[in-house]
Amino acid sequence: MPGLTPCADAETTRKRLRPALLAALALATVALAGCATKGPLHIYALPAGGERAIVDRGEIATLTQDSFLGPADRVTGFAYDPFTDHFFLRLAPGNAIRVVDRPARKIKREFEIAGADLGGHGGDLAVRPRDGHLFLIQPGRAELLQTSRLGKVIRTVSIAGAGSRFDGIAYDAVENHLLLLAEDRRRVTVHTPEGAFVRELRLAEPVGPGLGFDAEQREFYAPLPAGGIAVFGTDGRRLRTLDLPGAFVDVGPRSFVRVF
């Protein structure tokens, strides 16, 4: 059998290298696209008060994370974005956002949002993981303010069929829905990102302010007035109670690949 010519030998080498090159390109594409690989669920609770840390409960241990809050800072909303591994803290009077980078343990950025409520109430906020958009409660109005993760105002979302005051908000990343805790702190209404009413449920007892949602397990997390964090099913029943000191709570999977 005749030996391979130089051209044929080069082509054979290219074929051998092709799978490795394709794998490397695939990994690079994932990293550049910012597709987060899901890790274990973590529960993040922020106690009331001035200078305090964020409590991080994972599968193995409960740790603390710097919040960089000072004695004069008053938090009105708290959210976690698993794609960036960042915390979003909404500060009174309601237009200031502080972004904390969890792995780097530092303030990533701070900005103010034009048009956000300045009545001193502020209100909760939620993050849509796929694009980092923020949804901010506008106290006393049946609407939300939608912004980019950098605070650029995108639009006002009019909320249908849910009253005009909300005490908590979360985002269902699986069904792509907004979840709003009503003024009575038991009624939770479900809406499209455009604000259309989808359905509602009633929690077994009052909670909040504040709301978190595990989209994979379909469970709601909310602080209890007497302390601790309650976990509710989609039928409104309390499933369990977590011994965590949280005035605010959010949950999310710890991602292995981040969007910066």
Residues 6+ apart with CB under 8 A from 20: none
Burial of 16 (0-12, 13-18, 19+ CB in 10 A): exposed
126: Cα within 13 Å, side-chain hemisphere: 29
Phi, then psi, of 21 in degrees rounded to 5: -65, -40
- Judge whether 153 and 145 are in contact, CB under 8 Å: yes
Q: What are the pLDDT digits (tens) for 27-83?
A: 444 333 444 555 679 999 998 877 899 999 998 999 999 999 998 899 999 999 999
Greater confidence (250 vs 3) lies with: 250
Task: Give the confidence band of 26 by pLDDT, cuts at 50, 70, 90.
Answer: very low
- Mean pLDDT within 236-257: 89
d(CA 223, CA 112): 27
Q: What are the pLDDT digits (tens) for 136-192?
A: 999 888 999 999 999 999 999 999 988 878 999 999 999 999 999 999 999 999 999
Phi, then psi, of 9 in degrees rounded to 5: -65, -40
Tell me the pTM: 0.83
CA 32 to chain centre: 21
pLDDT of the residue at 32: 39
